[in-house]
């Protein structure tokens, strides 16, 4: 198989042995694999793969076709169109993964585009549902809303019946974000005035929290931190948290157990896949790159100012 | 009735009309009413009573005997021994409150001593169970453990099968805290070495969080802030919270709705009252004061360095 490979922070495409699927696993011929911020960090040596995953092949998400089944796989057949998240190794022609963590790709969705669905939507779904406990009619704030997770969070919030406020630095994105489901799009400086919020998907980090978010919360608000590009050290007012009964939490998806990923996939299958099949949810795509132009893809991602996913097409 | 009354930060005992119980409420002849930090703050004008409660009569907890029933009260009779929390007004010869928030006082418990049970145990129970989701076998840290809520939290943690670490500045309290159920008693400087913890009942605040607690957490730890005497502004490392999937939350009990207080009381009735009746849970009492010596009681409370409740005996 061919695999994007990191050697001393340099990306190349190398040939290596195609793995055989172990018990409960499948071998997937990858059609598309989305880029994520974690890949950029991993290339810089800042975010090593968790134990059990390839150390030098980046890629947290993929969509493709099942090429072989390991022993004891139930519910899937060779040729099935599937997508999923992995701890690494997705930016390759082939990837093996546990079948319980897979989602089926709706017939209506392009298989390459589907490679940009799993990571952002799983991250946003887990933050909003499993950590944020969003209820219909509640007010959801998504900061740093123009990225992959942000646009997924806007769509999921709208799908679940929330009133969605999207915060972005570049207000020229307004129309696109409204089209995805945002009830309003605000500049970070106006986050406080557009509040209060019940659930916050915090994709920026410390600067965002202290410059408005923490002062714009409803009682019982849940603030879920899943991005810290805007700083990691935040000063919180404990008395304010107590008075408002605020919950501040954070997580990453990558290092989670197979069982937990399977649990999230099962919930997404029920809640998100019908909407994805109908087109209520969509994967905004900024650009596709072939494996051979992986360096250009990473450069484009790092340049920022993007709305939509960058996807490697295999 | 006679009531402790705050006038321009001065305490006195004054006569006022005994209230009639409204629908669903009872009139209780108070036998004992515990002191709490909130009373001290309220006297200083820093913590006004929430709407619907007496503005000038302190007291968040009581035990006594039902003297009269309002309309539509079910399950209680005149003469029943009861205890409960209120938004204010408990430091008086009589108090009216909603019957659904009452707990019965076990026959084995002195009625005056019972007046020091509800506030601390309800606060600790809510923090540990409803916010901390403590499971048997998990490791519980209680900071500032020598006070009323701290000693309640130690006992509840032990009752629920946790391994309990108590942090106190004055290690001469060690034997008393071990007798209440602490597996170990440490100085705040040694909190980190005795970790990691799954649930933290944080009774000190910012200084405690940043000087050890936040660096001594297990994955999925839940930190519940319910005291901030050691500072209200805490710097948290968001990346650490994400990596450890930490939850930081806080609350106060006083302003909660009748419905929520009734819900907590129902859970405490099931989980705590049998243990209180058997003596597995106890209310450590430092001193009792008559209503007429209320100023001495407040001075003793404010002097600190205490283990056990100060209770006004009516």
Across the interface, of B225, B231, B237, the residue whose CB is closest to A232 is B237
Q: Does B181 touch chain A (CB under 8 A)?
A: no
- Distance, in Å, from the CA atom of A203 to the CA atom of A140, rounded to the nearest integer, reads 13
pLDDT given at position B303: 87
Contact B228 A247 (CB under 8 A): no
Spell out the per-residue pLDDT of chain B, length 314, in tens: 999 999 999 999 999 999 999 999 999 999 999 999 889 999 998 888 888 899 999 999 999 999 999 999 999 999 999 999 999 999 999 999 999 999 999 999 999 999 999 999 999 999 999 999 999 999 999 999 998 999 999 999 999 999 999 999 999 989 999 999 999 999 999 999 999 999 999 999 999 999 999 999 999 999 999 999 889 999 999 999 999 999 999 988 887 888 999 999 999 999 999 999 999 999 999 999 999 999 999 999 998 766 889 999 99
Distance from CA of B74 to the nearest CA of A (A): 31
Contact B242 A248 (CB under 8 A): no
Local structure of A136: helix, strand or coil: coil
Spatial contact of A1 and A29, defined as CB atoms under 8 Å apart: no
Distance from CA of B191 to the nearest CA of A (A): 20
Q: Which residues contact A266 (CB under 8 A, 6 or more apart)?
A: none
Q: Does A235 touch chain B (CB under 8 A)?
A: yes
pLDDT given at position A304: 75
pLDDT given at position B142: 98
Q: Count other C-beta atoms under 10 Å from residue A255's C-beta.
A: 16
Question: pLDDT (tens digit, 9 = 90+) per residue, B22-63?
Answer: 999 999 999 999 999 889 999 998 888 888 899 999 999 999
Angle, CA B27 vertex, CA B112 and CA B308 arms, to 5°: 25
Pick from A159-163, A303-307, B259-263: least confident: A303-307
The CATH number of A120-250 is 3.40.50.720
Q: Which chain A residue's Cα is nearest to B47?
A: A243
> Is residue A189 predicted with pLDDT exceeding 70?
yes
Q: Does A220 touch chain B (CB under 8 A)?
A: no
- Distance, in Å, from the CA atom of A57 to the CA atom of A47, rounded to the nearest integer, reads 12
pLDDT given at position A305: 66
Distance from CA of B166 to the nearest CA of A (A): 21
pLDDT given at position B307: 82
Distance from CA of B150 to the nearest CA of A (A): 17
- Do the bridges between strand A81-85 and strand A61-69 make them parallel or antiparallel, or are there none, so unpaired? antiparallel
Give kind and range of the element (H or E) at residue B186.
Answer: strand B184-186
Across the interface, of B236, B243, B249, the residue whose CB is closest to A234 is B236
- Distance, in Å, from the CA atom of B258 to the CA atom of B30, rounded to the nearest integer, reads 20
Question: pLDDT (tens digit, 9 = 90+) per residue, A229-282?
Answer: 889 999 999 999 999 999 999 988 887 888 999 999 999 999 999 999 999 999
- Distance, in Å, from the CA atom of B26 to the CA atom of B82, rounded to the nearest integer, reads 10
pLDDT given at position B229: 87
Prediction pTM value = 0.91
Contact list in B for residue A246 (CB cut-off 8 A) is 249-250
- What is the average pLDDT score of chain A? 95
Task: Note if the bond before A196 is cis, omega within 30 degrees.
Answer: yes
ipTM above 0.90, yes or no: no
Q: Count other C-beta atoms under 10 Å from residue B190's C-beta.
A: 15
Contact list in B for residue A200 (CB cut-off 8 A) is none
Q: Does B41 touch chain A (CB under 8 A)?
A: no
Contact list in A for residue B242 (CB cut-off 8 A) is 225-226, 228, 250-252
Distance from CA of B203 to the nearest CA of A (A): 11
Across the interface, of A226, A231, A242, the residue whose CB is closest to B226 is A242
Distance of CA A276 to the CA centre of its chain: 15
CATH 2.30.30.40 fits B2-117+254-313, yes or no: no
> Is residue A48 predicted with pLDDT exceeding 90?
no
Across the interface, of A225, A238, A242, the residue whose CB is closest to B242 is A225
Domain boundaries, given as residue ranges, for chain A: 2-117+254-313, 120-250
Contact list in A for residue B239 (CB cut-off 8 A) is 228, 232
Distance from CA of A240 to the nearest CA of B (A): 9
Buried b (16+ CB within 10 A) or exposed e, B113-130: bbbbbbbbbbbbbbbbbe
């Amino acid at each position: 198989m061919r695999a994007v490979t990191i050697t001393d922070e340099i990306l190349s495409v190398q040939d290596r042995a195609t793995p055989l699927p172990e018990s409960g696993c499948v071998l997937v011929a990858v059609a598309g694999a989305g880029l994520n911020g974690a890949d950029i960090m991993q290339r810089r040596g800042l975010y090593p793969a968790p134990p059990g995953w390839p150390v030098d092949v980046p890629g947290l998400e993929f969509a493709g076709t099942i090429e072989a089944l390991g022993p004891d796989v139930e519910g899937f057949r060779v040729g099935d169109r599937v997508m999923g998240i992995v701890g690494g190794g997705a930016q390759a022609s082939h990837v093996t993964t546990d079948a319980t963590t897979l989602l089926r790709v709706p017939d209506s969705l392009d298989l390459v585009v589907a490679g940009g669905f799993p990571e952002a939507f799983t991250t946003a779904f887990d933050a909003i549902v499993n950590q944020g406990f969003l209820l219909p009619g509640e007010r959801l704030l998504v900061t740093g809303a123009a990225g992959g997770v942000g646009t997924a969070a806007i769509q999921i919030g709208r799908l679940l019946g929330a009133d969605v406020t999207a915060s972005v630095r570049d207000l020229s994105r307004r129309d696109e974000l409204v089209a995805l489901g945002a009830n309003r799009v605000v500049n970070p400086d106006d986050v406080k005035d557009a509040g209060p919020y019940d659930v916050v998907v915090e994709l920026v980090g410390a600067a965002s929290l202290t410059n408005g978010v923490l002062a714009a919360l409803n009682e019982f608000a849940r603030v879920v931190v899943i991005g810290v590009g805007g700083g990691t050290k935040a000063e919180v007012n404990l008395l304010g948290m107590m008075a408002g009964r605020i919950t501040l939490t954070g997580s990453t998806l990558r290092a989670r157990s197979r069982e937990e990923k399977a649990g999230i996939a099962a919930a997404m299958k029920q809640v998100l896949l019908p909407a994805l099949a109908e087109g209520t949810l969509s994967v905004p795509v900024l650009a596709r790159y072939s494996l051979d132009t992986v360096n250009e893809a990473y450069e484009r991602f790092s340049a920022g100012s993007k709305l939509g996913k960058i996807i490697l097409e295999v």
